[in-house]
Amino acid sequence: MTDLAPRKESRRVTAPATVVFDVQRVRADFPALHQQIGKHPLVYLDNAATALKPQSVIDAVSSVYAHDCANIHRGVHTLSQRATQRYEDARDKARRFLNAPSVEETIFVRGTTEGINLVAHSYARPRLREGDEILITELEHHSNIVPWQLVAQATGAKLVVAPVNDAGEVTEEAFANKLSARTKVVSFAHVSNALGTILPAKRFVELAKAVGAVVCIDGAQAAPHAPVDVQDLGCDFYAFSGHKVYGPTGIGVLFGKRELLEAMVPYQGGGDMIDRVTFEETTWNALPYKFEAGTPHIAGGIGLGAAIDYLTALEPSALAAHERDVLEYGTAKLHDVPGLRLIGTAKHKVGVLSFLMSGAHPSDVGTVLDQVGVAVRTGHHCTQPLMDRFGIPATARASMALYTTRADIDALVAGLHLVREMFS
């Protein structure tokens, strides 16, 4: 099957909220779900853009500002010590979430985008030369394309792209065909945000390692749906965003292998990342602080820790079965809507349904759905080259989370029938 398996029992960090997955009980934890949009209850299907937050995350963030509001790492007073302890505890939760070997290899960043930029600018840019190649895939988010274009422009290296097939998959053959001794860096999405395709990440890492490339994985859409084990994957770098795993915006994590991080020069300088500064020379702080210049998103990191607690406390196989059930139900229901074309029909997918409706522009679809309380995303989903591949400018995208129900899908389908009536 795929690399995305249900979370293991051993990864639990707090008592389980449920043993059998009880979606109504879980929904009660998310205050934003319980509101009306006009006369309609909110049906939130924009989870690939950002997930809603459970009360425990909201409480964790607000308790930082209410009680432990201080800058971290350098303060000797109690508030600073408490905030530092909570922030570093959160780092260890993130380490466990990724099964990273150490907290030194677990770097807090603003999100996936900043994680990839860190790798591009601190690892790749000083090392790549003309004739070298950077391999990505055709389904990447712009944040896993543009940083590599910047590196290519600065170094003379070439950006090489592994194509997707009509189902929205990157086959092993298509990927392997683009690898050669010239490939120095490989960076690909674990899961596609626009199509939901799960890539065979572990196999791709093996193939890339066989030609000696360094591998970075964009985990933004994988981390919310299944456990990530960076040691099992064998990748060199792995980035994800807090806000997609039910945590705050503006915080994320980059895992990097120690030997690579130690050899890298930071691309951002400032407070906290130094050991000793003189006007002549500066030496770096130890890992991971060397890559964390300036005051970090302290409440965000602590909120992310609470989100990881929440997610990993859910019974893993029951959660996976629930998400699979809603995806299969949604796929079948959308197939039955006349004039609807699904974009992205990969065999292995997470809960993302991208589609077109004949006669209606995706933004019209989104606007009509919003009038009946259904929130979907419309547009190119920051994947313009992928849209070009399918010869379309945009799609409407319904993306699911752990609190999504079959009833949400029914509301979506009812809204789509309304779209049909208005535009056919």
Which of 2, 47, 113, 187 is close enough to bind ligand PLP by CB under 6 A?
113
When asked if residue 122 is in the footprint of ligand PLP (CB under 6 A), the reply is no
Q: How far is the CB of 189 from ligand PLP (least distance, A)?
A: 5
Give the type of residue at 17: A
When asked if residue 111 is in the footprint of ligand PLP (CB under 6 A), the reply is yes
Q: How far is the CB of 217 from ligand PLP (least distance, A)?
A: 10
Binding segment for ligand PLP (CB under 6 A), chosen from 117-125, 140-148, 366-374, 394-402, is 140-148
For residues 136 and 185, the answer to whether their CB atoms sit within 8 Å is no
For residues 250 and 127, the answer to whether their CB atoms sit within 8 Å is no
Is the Cβ of residue 253 or residue 419 nearer to ligand PLP in the bound state?
253
Q: Which of residues 197-226 bind ligand PLP (CB under 6 A)?
A: 218, 220-221
Three-state SS for 210? helix
- Bond from prior residue into 385 cis (ω within 30 degrees of 0): no
Strand order in the sheet with 214-218: 106-109, 252-256, 237-241, 214-218, 183-189, 133-137, 158-162
When asked if residue 95 is in the footprint of ligand PLP (CB under 6 A), the reply is no
When asked if residue 251 is in the footprint of ligand PLP (CB under 6 A), the reply is no
Partners of 46 in the β-ladder: 399
Place of tokens 């029909």: 345
Is the Cβ of residue 201 or residue 313 nearer to ligand PLP in the bound state?
201
- Give CA–CA dist 363/423, Å, rounded: 12
Strands, DSSP E only, in 146-189? 158-162, 183-189
Is the Cβ of residue 84 or residue 113 nearer to ligand PLP in the bound state?
113
Find the angle CA(352)-CA(354)-CA(355) to the nearest 5 degrees: 150
Q: How far is the CB of 38 from ligand PLP (least distance, A)?
A: 27
Three-state SS for 234? coil
When asked if residue 141 is in the footprint of ligand PLP (CB under 6 A), the reply is yes
Would residue 403 be called left, alpha or beta, if left means φ above 0 and alpha means ψ between -120 and 50 degrees?
alpha
When asked if residue 235 is in the footprint of ligand PLP (CB under 6 A), the reply is no
382 is catalytic: yes
Catalytic residue among 69, 216, 235, 382: 382
When asked if residue 189 is in the footprint of ligand PLP (CB under 6 A), the reply is yes
When asked if residue 84 is in the footprint of ligand PLP (CB under 6 A), the reply is no
Q: How far is the CB of 18 from ligand PLP (least distance, A)?
A: 27
Q: How far is the CB of 119 from ligand PLP (least distance, A)?
A: 13
Which of 56, 193, 197, 312 is close enough to bind ligand PLP by CB under 6 A?
193
Consecutive H or E run containing 253: strand 252-256
When asked if residue 285 is in the footprint of ligand PLP (CB under 6 A), the reply is no
Partners of 37 in the β-ladder: 40
Which positions ≥6 away from 347 have C-beta within 8 Å? Answer: 167, 169
Q: How far is the CB of 344 from ligand PLP (least distance, A)?
A: 13
Which positions ≥6 away from 137 have C-beta within 8 Å? Answer: 161, 162, 163, 164, 170, 175, 188, 189, 199
Catalytic machinery residues: 382
For ligand PLP, the binding residues (CB under 6 A) are 111-113, 141, 143-144, 189, 193, 218, 220-221, 241
